[in-house]
């Protein structure tokens, strides 16, 4: 349910109340759901100290605004918010929620929804060196606190969370800390590295109707029994650990992007997901604690919601306006169009790409044809002798579901399994249970060239869709097909080229604001080694009794903390920069060429990627520290953006209660001061779009002159005015306009791409991607 349906109930509410009042008693107790209630600041309780009696105050608010005849059952406050939002979360019936939505004291009543997780070598791949560049210049970000909103942390026996002797106490501005509960002794587990650990579960509990620990599934504490939060937090800022590995895979030094930064963990995700009310409570706490960066590796389960209906977007807005950069994962719903989540312009949204490391496991057929797959299987390998090979669809289950495979046929054989229905690691397990000696997992057709590595408990490899089709053809054409699987361990090299965009990485165009490019950048997110929980196996299967200190997993959840850590380094090296300036520096200095000299590829197509997949490009930390120019933005810019979207006064007030859209009439989404240009032509008639930008000179040459170089997208004439920008000591900012003129005729494809580059002729090139979306009527048939 969105805001409008709730507001519409106001019209009927009086009649409902009168009708129900004529009854002696309600025949049944109405069901309650969780809602987030945004309160107009003038009507919010005034509290003298942080967190004092807020639940009591909002309970009184509910008694004042919900009639007694509607209080069966009584409303119940879960959280109060004063930093990430103004208001509270509560259990309400639909009629109670509608009543509040009618009140002038309330800006919005939003149903509490669930978000989902967006489930080493990378410092060297990113060229982060202890002797030169950003890492020593920032002192490893020792004065920066990264808040990680995730599944918690498992610090016990994990050296990634150890405080090395030279690490000083956390900065005095940080006001957070670690809770102590039966399953998590904060005073013993926290230190100068792990400086905060808290948990938020009231929204999850209310949705489930019972305590999270009622069945002893999960302790009510910051303890991570999943592994995801331990992995992301150690990726962002884990201490250096030599000789780390997942068994013998990826062996080397494991270290976070910002090894000196402090970690504060806010657990919001439980077995059933992550409730919006818990997420907003974590944002509220992180802002109050004084973190510098928030790392958010989760997002909407479906398409990106309206910004006012998105707890993460609301919390992130309040964080950014207080100078806290929020790095967020783009999502794992690729390669489809407009699948990216966390698409508000105040997020730093991160896609996922590969590094120059693989874990190949070859399928060798009886014909000696070889198809390279990928695997993290760490047990006894298969021998060189080939064994019988069958297709799951011929032996009971094409997707290899446990209990459906014919054990009498599968015994002693390798089974080829189709994707879907069950998890990859479950397919190998199903083959093992049926007596098979190994499994070959086909990837989905949409993933193209990509297959995903998994820490299998049975000899298993995953191959690309096209390879699986060839293996199927071999099986069907042979009377006695055979195969074996050869595991090659860890291979580092220049082939295939890297980086490449992961097929799963969510894409643009931006579903909610097409004139804002998303994702912003890409970073390593495929087969990333980082710390893991001791409370869960690497496969997360109940039958897997293995426990490891490190695990290798993939997702934009992994790329996001890479950028969170890099942003921490930049925050320390350039403390005067705003969150928007940090994002701008990362975007305009990103690179778009792989190690073979070609445009970064897209594994889903086998062709060059586009800015809708890679954003402005792959992050380059050492260049970002000296970008030359930045595109800055602040609260006023973001409010103008919201007004330009056509949001109502109440919807904008959810973000900034003092905002007044009447003073921003005529504002354009395309004029938001973003480091990229996205143009949407809506008619096949010749049209002109003009967008304006302001750049700030942050280079050492206060009198620098920059000249523009334009690479026009096909079908568009791009004009920049002025074509050169002259800066002075007294004039650090300059404005320019870009005019996009739609050409006649048709174009090949719905989208065309280009770039605008400002150069000072010396060391700085400031690059902005350009995307153009065309009306269907002007797209030529291919």
Does the annotation mark 83 as catalytic? no
| 221, 584, 629, 630 from 698: Cα distances, Å | 44, 12, 6, 7
What backbone phi and psi angles, to 5 degrees, belong to 369? Answer: -65, 140
Q: Is 150 a catalytic residue?
A: yes
672 is catalytic: no
d(CA 578, CA 767): 19
Residue with tokens 């990229």: 676
Contact 371, 461 (CB under 8 A): no
Q: Is 140 left (phi over 0), alpha (psi -120 to 50) or beta?
A: left
Alpha-carbon distance 506 to 152, whole Å? 25
How many Å is the maximal CA-CA distance in the chain? 83
Cα angle for residues 242, 248, 254 (degrees, 5° grid): 30
Q: Measured between alpha carbons, how far is 400 from 395 in angstroms, rounded to an integer? A: 9
β-bridge mates for residue 688, sequence order: 741
Joined together, the tokens standing for residue 47 give: 């509290």
User: Are the CB atoms for 208 and 112 separated by under 8 Å?
Assistant: no
415, 400 Cβ separation under 8 angstroms: yes
Beta bridge partners of 737: 692, 721
User: Using an 8 Å Cβ cutoff, are 186 and 197 in contact?
Assistant: yes
Check the CA dihedral 431-433-434-435 and report its sign. positive
Q: Which residues contact 689 (CB under 8 A, 6 or more apart)?
A: 670, 679, 680, 681, 739, 740, 742
Using CB atoms within 10 Å of the CB of residue 648, give its burial: 0 to 12 exposed, 13 to 18 middle, 19+ buried. Answer: middle
Radius of gyration of the chain (CA): 27
- Neighbour order of strands in the sheet with 298-300: 269-270, 273-275, 114-117, 298-300
What is residue 178's DSSP assignment? Answer: B
DSSP 695-731: EEE-SS-TT-EEEEEEEPPTTEEEEEESSEEE-BTTB
> Which one of 150, 204, 276, 602 is the catalytic residue?
150
Active-site option among 228, 456, 618, 764: 228
Cis peptide upstream of residue 722 (ω within 30 degrees of 0): yes
Residue entry with tokens 């496991």 = 361
Residues 6+ apart with CB under 8 A from 210: none
Q: What is the DSSP letter of 75?
A: P
From the candidates 80, 338, 557, 667, give the one annotated as an active-site residue. 557
Quickly count: other Cβ atoms within 10 Å of residue 139's Cβ: 15
* Cβ atoms of 717 and 741 closer than 8 Å: yes
What pairs with residue 389 in β-bridges? 414
CB neighbour burial string for 530-556, b if at least 16 within 10 angstroms, e if fewer: bbbbbbbbbbbbeebeeebbbbbbbbb
**Spatial separation of the C-alpha atoms in residues 466 and 371, rounded to whole Å:** 10
Buried-exposed string 272-281: b where 16+ CB fall within 10 A, e elsewhere: ebbbbbbbbb
Sorted by sequence, the CB contacts under 8 Å of residue 48 that are 6+ apart come out as none
Separation CA 215–CA 446 (nearest Å): 39
Relative to beta strand 325-329, strand 348-353 is: parallel
- Supply angle C-alpha 517, 520, 521, rounded to 5: 140
Catalytic residues: 150, 228, 557
């Amino acid at each position: 349910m969105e805001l409008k349906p709730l507001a519409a109930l106001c019209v009927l509410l009086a009649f409902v109340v009168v009708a129900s009042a004529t009854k002696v008693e309600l025949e049944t107790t109405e069901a309650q759901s969780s809602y987030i209630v945004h309160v107009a600041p003038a009507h919010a309780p005034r509290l003298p100290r942080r967190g004092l009696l807020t639940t009591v105050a909002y309970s009184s608010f509910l008694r004042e605004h919900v009639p007694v005849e509607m209080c069966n059952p009584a409303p119940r406050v879960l959280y109060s918010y004063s930093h990430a939002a103004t208001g509270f979360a509560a259990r309400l019936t639909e009629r109670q929620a509608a009543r509040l939505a009618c009140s002038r004291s309330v800006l919005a009543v939003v149903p509490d929804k669930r978000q989902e997780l967006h489930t080493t070598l990378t410092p060297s791949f990113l060229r982060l060196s202890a002797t030169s560049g950003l890492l020593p210049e920032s002192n490893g970000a020792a004065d920066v606190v990264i808040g990680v909103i995730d599944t918690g942390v498992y610090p016990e026996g994990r050296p990634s969370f150890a405080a090395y002797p030279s690490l000083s106490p956390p900065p005095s501005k940080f006001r957070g800390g670690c809770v102590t509960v039966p399953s998590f002794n904060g005073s013993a587990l926290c230190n100068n590295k792990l400086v905060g650990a808290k948990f938020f579960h009231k929204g999850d509990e209310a949705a489930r109707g019972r305590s999270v620990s009622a069945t002893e599934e999960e302790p009510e504490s910051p303890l991570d029994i999943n592994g995801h939060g331990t992995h992301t937090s150690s990726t962002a800022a884990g201490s250096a650990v030599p000789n780390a590995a997942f068994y013998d895979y990826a062996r080397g030094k494991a270290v976070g992007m910002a090894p000196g930064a402090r970690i504060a963990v806010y657990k919001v995700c439980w077995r059933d997901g992550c409730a919006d009310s818990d997420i907003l409570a974590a944002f509220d706490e992180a802002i109050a604690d004084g973190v510098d960066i928030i790392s958010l590796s989760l997002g909407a389960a479906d398409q990106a919601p309206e910004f006012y209906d998105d707890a993460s977007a609301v919390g992130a807005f309040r964080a950014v306006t207080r100078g806290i950069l929020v790095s967020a994962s783009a999502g794992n719903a690729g390669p489809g169009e407009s699948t990216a989540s966390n698409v508000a312009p105040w997020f730093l949204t991160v896609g996922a790409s590969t590094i120059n490391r693989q874990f190949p496991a070859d399928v060798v057929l009886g014909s000696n044809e070889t198809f390279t797959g990928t695997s993290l299987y760490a047990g006894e390998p298969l021998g060189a002798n080939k064994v019988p090979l069958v297709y799951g669809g011929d032996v009971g289950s094409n997707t290899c579901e446990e209990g459906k495979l014919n054990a009498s046929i599968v015994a002693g054989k390798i089974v080829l399994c189709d994707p879907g229905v069950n998890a990859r690691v479950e397919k190998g397990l199903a083959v093992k249970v049926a007596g098979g000696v190994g499994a070959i997992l086909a990837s989905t057709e949409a993933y193209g060239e990509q297959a995903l590595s998994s820490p299998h408990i049975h000899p298993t490899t995953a191959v690309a869709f096209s390879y699986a089709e060839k293996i199927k053809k071999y099986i069907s054409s042979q009377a006695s097909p055979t195969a074996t699987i050869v595991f090659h361990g860890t291979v580092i090299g220049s082939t295939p080229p890297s980086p490449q965009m992961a097929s799963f990485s969510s894409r643009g165009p931006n579903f909610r604001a097409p004139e804002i490019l998303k994702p912003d950048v890409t970073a390593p997110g495929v087969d990333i080694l980082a710390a893991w929980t001791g409370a869960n196996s690497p496969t997360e299967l109940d039958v897997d009794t293995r426990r490891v200190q490190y695990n290798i997993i993939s997702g934009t959840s992994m790329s996001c903390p890479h950028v969170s850590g890099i942003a921490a380094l930049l925050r320390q090296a350039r403390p005067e920069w705003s969150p928007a300036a940090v994002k701008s520096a990362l975007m305009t200095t990103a690179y778009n060429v792989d190690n073979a000299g070609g445009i970064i590829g897209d594994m889903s197509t086998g062709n060059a990627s586009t800015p809708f997949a890679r954003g402005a490009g792959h992050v380059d930390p050492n260049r970002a520290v000296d970008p030359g120019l930045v595109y800055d933005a602040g609260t006023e810019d973001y409010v103008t953006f919201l007004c330009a979207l056509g949001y109502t006064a109440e919807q904008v007030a959810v973000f900034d209660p003092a905002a007044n859209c009447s003073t921003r009439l005529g504002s354009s989404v395309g004029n938001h001061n973003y480091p990229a240009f996205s143009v949407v032509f809506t008619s096949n008639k010749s049209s002109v779009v003009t967008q304006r930008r302001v750049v700030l000179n942050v280079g050492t040459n206060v009198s620098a002159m920059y000249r523009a170089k334009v690479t026009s997208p096909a079908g568009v004439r791009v004009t920049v005015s002025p074509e050169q920008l002259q800066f002075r000591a007294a004039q650090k900012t300059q404005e320019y306009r870009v005019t996009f003129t739609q050409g006649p005729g048709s174009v090949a494809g719905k989208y065309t791409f280009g770039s605008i580059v400002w150069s000072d002729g010396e060391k700085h090139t400031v690059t902005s991607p350009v995307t153009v979306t065309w009306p269907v009527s002007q797209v030529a048939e291919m």
